[in-house]
Amino acid sequence: MEILSSSYINEMIYNFKSVEIKKRLSSIQTKKSNFSSLSSTITDVSSKVTSLLSSLDKLKATSSSSIFNTKSALSSNESYLTATADKTANIGSYELFVTQLAKNDMVISQDVSSSAVSGLTGKHSFTVKTGDGTNADFTSTISVDLDGTETNSELLSKISSAINTDYVEVNSSAKTAANNYTGNESTIKINLNETDYSINVTGGGTYEQLIDELVENINSGIDGINAEKVLDDPSTGDVRLKVTGSKTTDYISISHDSGFDLVTDLGIQVDKEVGAASVLSASSFAPGSDTSQLSITSKNSGLDYRIKSIADNSGSTILAQLGLNLGSSRPSFDQSIEPDTAGFVYSDITNANNQLNAKFSFNNVQIQKNSNTVSDLVSGMTFNIKSVMKDTDPKVNITVEHNNETIRNDVNDFIKKFNDVYTLLKEKTKSTETSRGILRGEATVSSLLNSLRSIGHTTFGDSDNEFRYLSQIGIKFDATTGLSISDSTLFDDKVNNNTSEVENLFNSSNGLATTLYDSLKKYSGAEGYLSLAKQSYDNSAKYLSDRIDSVTTSIDKSAEVLRKRYQSMQTQLATLLSTQSFFGTGSNY
């Protein structure tokens, strides 16, 4: 019979649990779901409020940070000249005419046979001095190790690689490590990238101990410099101090400060020693089928960054091999004879005729600059020179004005984020005949919504400001949809011609952005009203979740008790039916 089957009991238990769940759990589950929905919606509102606050933070900024100080620079001919203006630039116009672009100084070797063996051996070094952009020089010392088997092509490749990977390095003269240092206390000054450091030594031992003391004090006292002791170089028993920068852009000056003149004793006095890779770029190339040449170019354009000197160091002939042991002379590179005459592409360094500087007239004043990007001519402005102009070309006009587009974009960003919050709150608090908004009657949300609604009828800005309402600058508030720029022409006109008054409307102490930011700030953050409301809903949902677990466990236990009773009844019924069958069968005899 079906009543004796396990499926019959399962069905009975299922029906029991369904009735119990409906009776004891349904209302709790509904409440939990409601609290969870409230928490999720509050999270969405909080996220949008945070985004709105970010936009308001930009609008309420004052002084140089104010978005209403944003400027744009318009060029009458961007093929020749463009410009940018930051917030500190003044409204105005400028007139420019470009006659020369800035160039990078370049020196080129004579051409040599690529396959011929140079024959140079050992360590060869040379020094290049370049301008630092002022009246001082950078000094770079480059070393190349040769074994005598290199072809000229390989030689040039090694030179260019040595230049392009050179870090600043200062080496002391060699001292006998075991000899006593008798100079006593000394203070040396090390300048790293225009920052001075004082390094003290006490002495009182051998030169090796002195170098150890220097290495420890330099490495512990200066970030960005690595000092090390070099032993047995150039001869066994020698000791030297080696100081290197950690970046290719580092430059170092070392000078005597006080006490014994250890700088002179060790031969480490240098002035703005820099890695060649920071100021120079080198290339080896093959102009013919079996010829090679080397070019060395200053990384910075302009006369003040030119190559001022290039020469072999004592005992080296590596540059002389290429016609580049020029010292401070500036012969012109010449291809008219064979081999080429090594020299400079732009040899003239006179103020009038140099080809290294950018040259242009600015408001009819003749100007020279090192770079085609000029940012030290007008405060808050950068001019980007792009091409030389013809005599018949009209001068380029640069006009600086308020950047309406940027201001409009920032205001539009605020409007969008305001509407994101406003319309979400409107939707979630709306009730109809058939539905009720999830946030309807929620106290925190009602207060927030009232703060946003007030924007439509509140006066903002200082009492004597020309504009007190958003509508006066073309911004409309609609109770259904929120804010919009309803009159773009009016908005642009007021931003351009009444900038300070528009700014006051937004970022004064009573301005819209300042007032609304302060009002909304209390709703945001971990301790804000929205977060506290969410925590309350989360706690309620957690309590109900625990309650659901408890009731579910109780129902499950009751179901198991009932299941055992049914199983016991099934057993008794089966026995009864079996006995009945037995007696029924016996009655036939």
Which pLDDT value is given to residue 584?
Answer: 63
Specify which residues 401 forms β-bridges with. 72
pLDDT bin (cut points 50, 70, 90) of residue 582 is low
- Helix H segments across 319-442? 404-428
Model confidence over 412-443: pLDDT tens digits? 999 999 999 999 999 999 888 788 888 898 89
Q: Which residues contact 544 (CB under 8 A, 6 or more apart)?
A: 28, 29, 31, 32, 35
Is the Cβ–Cβ distance between 243 and 227 less than 8 Å?
A: yes
Closest by CA to 439, choosing from 21, 44, 22, is 44
pLDDT bin (cut points 50, 70, 90) of residue 32 is confident
Which pLDDT value is given to residue 585?
Answer: 56
Q: Is the dihedral of CA 78, 82, 86, 92 positive or negative?
A: negative
Q: How many CA atoms lie within 13 A of 460 on its CB side?
A: 25
Which pLDDT value is given to residue 519?
Answer: 93
Closest by CA to 452, choosing from 540, 519, 369, 405, is 519
The DSSP code sequence of 373-402 is EE-SSSTTEEEEE--PPPTTSPPEEEEEEE
Model confidence over 249-299: pLDDT tens digits? 899 999 999 999 999 999 999 999 999 999 999 999 999 999 999 999 999
Q: CA dist 342 to 241, 310, 411, 512, 583, Å? A: 36, 12, 61, 69, 131
Model confidence over 363-412: pLDDT tens digits? 999 999 999 999 999 999 999 999 999 999 999 999 998 888 888 899 99
Residue type, 478: D
pTM of the model: 0.72
pLDDT at 30 over 70: yes
pLDDT at 17 over 80: no
Pairing, β 343-344 against β 358-362: unpaired
pLDDT at 1 over 80: no
Q: How far apart are CA 582 and CA 576, in angstroms?
A: 10
